[in-house]
Amino acid sequence: MTPDSIYFTRTELDRCANMRDQKQRLKQLKKFKPCHYVPVYLGNHLYLKGEDNFFHSSQPIGSSRDETFLGVLNDELWFSCSIKESEARALEEKHQASFQSLRQYALALDDDQGHIALYSRGMDLWHRRRVFCSICGTKNKAASSGHKMVCENGHEQFPHIEPAVIVLVSDGDKCLLGRKHSWPPNVYSTLAGFVEPGESIEDAVHREVYEESNIRLKNLQYFGSQPWPFPSSLMVAFKAEARSDDIRLDDEMEDVRWFHKDDLIKWVKQGSIILSPRFSVANSLISNFLGQEY
């Protein structure tokens, strides 16, 4: 696994950000170009099992006030539509399918579909959480084809993204993985945490690893990033080497351990250790360390 193979980031979709404020042009294009409208309910899509895809329509769905222009793919326009519960239930009934989290079917989607699903999920969740202005509390209205919210007093708000760091710490043939109390049994992953206000991304890596394991780092190396709208993160991934190997746990972690490469491969194959899902950047980091996809 290389940074180029991080899930959800490989796409030919052109976001065409300059078109978001060109209302008339977009209106004209809708008449002449094929359009795809993706209904999204609470961040979830209507997953069509037999087709390995999620439902999208050539016609608008729900109210156009809740429509977001995603961009252009293969000369076709893509929109996401935040729909109401009644609309979601009617679609489920009609297609004999259900709105499901992307986590359930991410691996069934191709690169472009995976990206569109993730992107529309992020926009939908942001719209639902920004019904009111975070400054004055009056009602927000979508602008710029869904990419901006403006309240009655003219306060502008843009999609909210929370950066988080994630890091594979190694010491020769060993890597440092941990698990939180709330995780399912036997699941281990790379250490991660949110960047705090006033803190650089690099400092956040050093702090998080030290807090969760007592390990100090050297040779921090950027690996790649992954949008993670669960609900609104951006994962910034690093590799680093340990300056010490003496682990001490904090309350947040149930366990943090050094895993030798050979043991980890053996235990993952046996199923006694379970890694984060293959579409996560944590899995990309671990697979990169092990030299093969797991």
To Zn ion, the closest distance from the beta carbon of 155 in angstroms equals 3
Among 1, 77, 97, 151, binds Zn ion (CB under 5 A): 151
Q: How many C-beta atoms surround the C-beta of residue 268 within 10 A?
A: 17
- Size of the residue set binding Zn ion (CB under 5 A): 6
Q: Which is nearer to Zn ion, 138 or 244 (CB)?
A: 138
- C-alpha closest to that of 131 among 147, 151, 145: 151
Q: How many C-beta atoms surround the C-beta of residue 100 within 10 A?
A: 14
Residues 120-139 that bind Zn ion (CB under 5 A): 133, 135-136
Is residue 109 at the binding interface for Zn ion, with CB under 5 A as the rule? no
Amino acid at the residue 205: V
To Zn ion, the closest distance from the beta carbon of 43 in angstroms equals 24
List strands edge to edge, sheet with 53-54: 53-54, 45-48, 98-100
Q: Which is nearer to Zn ion, 42 or 150 (CB)?
A: 150
Q: Which is nearer to Zn ion, 72 or 150 (CB)?
A: 150
Pairwise CA distance, residues 167 & 70, whole Å: 30
How far, CA to CA in Å, does 5 sit from each of 2, 10, 169, 268? Answer: 6, 7, 20, 21
- C-alpha closest to that of 124 among 161, 90, 155, 80: 80
Q: Which is nearer to Zn ion, 133 or 164 (CB)?
A: 133
Among 74, 104, 153, 221, binds Zn ion (CB under 5 A): 153
To Zn ion, the closest distance from the beta carbon of 114 in angstroms equals 35
| Binding range to Zn ion, per CB under 5 A, among 41-49, 101-109, 154-162, 243-251 | 154-162
Q: Which is nearer to Zn ion, 100 or 157 (CB)?
A: 157
To Zn ion, the closest distance from the beta carbon of 149 in angstroms equals 9
- C-alpha closest to that of 12 among 154, 110, 105: 110
Interacting residues with Zn ion (CB under 5 A): 133, 135-136, 151, 153, 155
